[in-house]
A and B are shown apart, each in its own frame.
Chain A
Amino acid sequence: MSSLEDEIRDALRSEAGRLREVRPLSLESAPRPVLAPRRRQARPPWTWLAPATAAALVIVLAIALAIVRMEQSAPVSPVVPAPPVPTGFPRYYLGLAQLRNDGTGTRVVVGDVATGKTLAAYNAPAGEAFVTASGAGGTDDRTFVVAEATAQGNPPPHASPYYPYPRAWYLLRVLPGSTPRVTMTRLAIQPSNPELPITDVTLSADGRYLAVAAGEGLTLRADIRVYSVSTGQLLRTWSMVSAGTLIARYPGNLSWVNGDRTVAFDIYLGSREQVRTVSVTAPGAALLTVSHVVWSQYVPAVISSFPKSGTAPWCGLPTLTPDGRTVLCSAPYLYAGKPPSAAATEWLAYSLSAPARPRVLALIPPPGPKLPKGMRPYEWGTARVSASGVIGFYGFYEPRGAASGPVTISEYIARGTTVRQLGTGVIPVMEMRVIW
């Protein structure tokens, strides 16, 4: 396969991916289906009795059902069109919520950004948890993958159980206009053994491949794998074993670059955080040998105070854009408005051609001027950054103590200085991740 053919393939897929939805199909005004003409053949007259009787029964049943329906049906409420989604916002999101303080009980929520409504929610059964998820990203805002894991060991009282090893993977698809609106189907990806704890997953923009990062502190091992979503087949594995270098964080924050050809990830080696890329088609299986550093930053051991303006000493969740030219990330800063708050975040872009000075894409303010009564200041948690926006959540902690008391979690999606609330619920939740 020549590189020109690869370029054509990538360009066609990229162009096709721009089309995100189709107009609804209306069959009401279409001519009714025509039955195919059947061959005539002589039949004895009594053979018509059975179908004629069946037809009569169907007609009687249809009339009876119609009468019952007319009597029972309530007035049809008018269809209220959904408010438009601002340009650049994904229409749908997926949330992972932890329902109890002890870390047990997780729920996957699929929601509609335009209406703020929950389209579907799935609770994990006892002893299991949804641990990580990814959206397809790019132009596809209605395809997600989520992993489910079984609790390991016997944690002490009040400690969170440990869910390191996904045993099942599920594909969630939003189907606007259908009932149900969300489907959840199990993928054929099998858990490998021995397994490393998963640190991040990401679905390629065309939904065909799943990249999985994993790492484990005791053995100092880490790897990145690529699976086929349709067959579950393990296609590539790159591994590393730390040789004396302190690995503060194992590979994570995955993204796909150049379509489905390159995987980008970040890793902390010593006091530096690096963004690296590894080509899916390149030979070799040693992660740090075959991957290339494209961006790095110094990570201070302690951040003593939030900067007052967009001069963050460190930027979180660095993500390489699909064209491989820019690293996007977000950093907290002290919001000087009313009320002052550390819950604001700045959204930065580091061009790889001039990485010394980031471009501030936007300063995202706290979601509103007033704090809920009796609540402590907001805290912003960034879930994901992309070329089109930042998605994350604000928490309003009650003064009785965030560690044990109820916490109000509000999910927000932000693009530029526009912050849009997705929904709010008082739930004893310790973690909520929002993904698109």
Chain B
Amino acid sequence: MDYADTRPSDTVAGRADAHVTALYQAHALSLARLALLMLGDQAEAQDVVQDAFLGLYRRWGALASTDAAPGYLRTSVLNGCRTALRRRSRPAVPPAGPEHLESAEALAIQTEEQRAVLAAVRRLPARQREALVLRYYLDMTEDQAAQAMRVSRGTVKSATSRAVAAVGRMLKEGS
């Protein structure tokens, strides 16, 4: 028995709203997770992703091919995160307080060690954090990460290496 892939039909090709909606269903969650790792704030991450999709929608007619859309969206989200980080006057560490307490479910899912690693990652400079997220969350090669960050491969390599060393240092200081 073969089940048909029930993704939206391609009979609506050319209609930006249908294409963008389908892309949103397929990619929005993973992009929001990427933005969450960059920004450390769920609401801000969702804002960045929404802006990226609305930007794609506005420029749909200028897109060379629909195959280019996922790459365009990822670049938009990374750009949006960089802009959001530049706008911040303070580091992306969530302030302590009852409104930022983790839910019981989240606490059950994350171990003590994972929470310590995340706290350290959030204290990294934006470029180092971006390098870590691209290399270790998206499993990009150094070349792919360099392309996404618009820097050289050597810069990715050194940023990643410094980031890992800094996280290790912070974990030691915290233990």
| Contact status B108-A387, CB under 8 Å | yes
Contact of A308 with B by CB under 8 A? no
CB distance from A23 to the nearest CB of B (A): 5
User: Which of B6, B16, B17, B49 has its CB near the most chain A CB atoms (within 10 A)?
Assistant: B6
Chain A: CB-nearest residue to B29: A22
- A8-B117, A22-B49, A388-B105 in contact; A15/B36 too (CB < 8 A)? yes
A128 to B3 CA separation, bound complex (whole angstroms): 14
In the complex, B114 has a CB within 8 A of chain A = yes
**A to B contact number (C-beta, < 8 Å):** 145
- Residues 19-59 of B contacting A (Cβ, < 8 Å): 20-22, 24-25, 28-29, 32-34, 36-37, 42, 45-46, 49-50, 53-54, 57-59
- Whether A88 contacts B105 in the complex (CB less than 8 A), given A8-B167, A16-B137, A33-B60, comes out as yes
Is the pair B34, A25 in contact by a Cβ cutoff of 8 Å? Answer: no
A309-353 vs B: 1/0 string, CB under 8 Å? Answer: 000000000000111000000000000000000000000000000
Q: A34-B62, A387-B105 are in contact. Are A15 and B136 (CB under 8 A)?
A: no
Tell me if A12 counts as interface (CB < 8 A to partner B): yes
A34 touches B59 (CB 8 A): yes
- Nearest B residue to A124 by beta-carbon distance? B1
Which B116-168 residues sit within 8 Å CB-CB of chain A? Answer: 117-118, 121, 132-133, 136-137, 164, 167-168
- Residues 111-125 of A at the B interface (beta carbon under 8 Å): 122, 124-125
Verify B6–A11 contact, CB threshold 8 A.
no
- B32 and A87: CB pair below 8 A? no
Identify B21's interface contact among A19, A25, A125, A322, CB under 8 A. Answer: A25
State whether B137 touches A13 (Cβ < 8 A). yes
Whole-angstrom distance from the CB of A288 to the nearest CB of chain B? 27
B3 near A186 with CB under 8 A, answer yes
Name the A residues within 8 Å of B90 (CB-CB): none
Q: How large is the interface on B (under 10, 10 to 19, 20 to 34, 35 or more residues)?
A: 35 or more
| Residue numbers in B under 8 Å from A388 (CB-CB) | 105, 108
- Contact partner, A122, options B3, B36, B103, B168, Cβ 8 Å: B3
CB-contact partner of A10 in B42, B57, B114, under 8 A: B114
How far is A32 from B61 in the complex, measured between Cα atoms in Å?
10
B175 within 8 A of A: no
Interfacial chain A residues near B115, Cβ < 8 Å: 11
Q: Which residue of B lies closest to A21 (CB)?
A: B29
- A371 on the B face (CB < 8 A): no
On whether the beta carbons of A15 and B50 are closer than 8 Å, the reply is no
Taking the closest CB of chain B, its distance from the CB of A79, in whole angstroms, is: 17
Verify A184–B3 contact, CB threshold 8 A: yes
Asked if A71 is at the interface (CB within 8 A of a chain B CB), the reply is no
Cα A310 to Cα B25 in complex, Å, equals 45
Supply 5 further A-B pairs (C-beta < 8 A) apart from A18-B109, A125-B1: A12-B37, A14-B110, A88-B105, A148-B1, A322-B109
Q: Which residues of A contact B (CB under 8 A)?
A: 2, 4-5, 7-23, 25, 27, 30-31, 33-36, 87-88, 122, 124-125, 128, 138-139, 148, 168, 170, 175, 177-180, 182-186, 321-323, 387-388
Q: Which residues of B contact A (CB under 8 A)?
A: 1-3, 5-8, 16-17, 20-22, 24-25, 28-29, 32-34, 36-37, 42, 45-46, 49-50, 53-54, 57-62, 103-106, 108-111, 113-115, 117-118, 121, 132-133, 136-137, 164, 167-168, 171
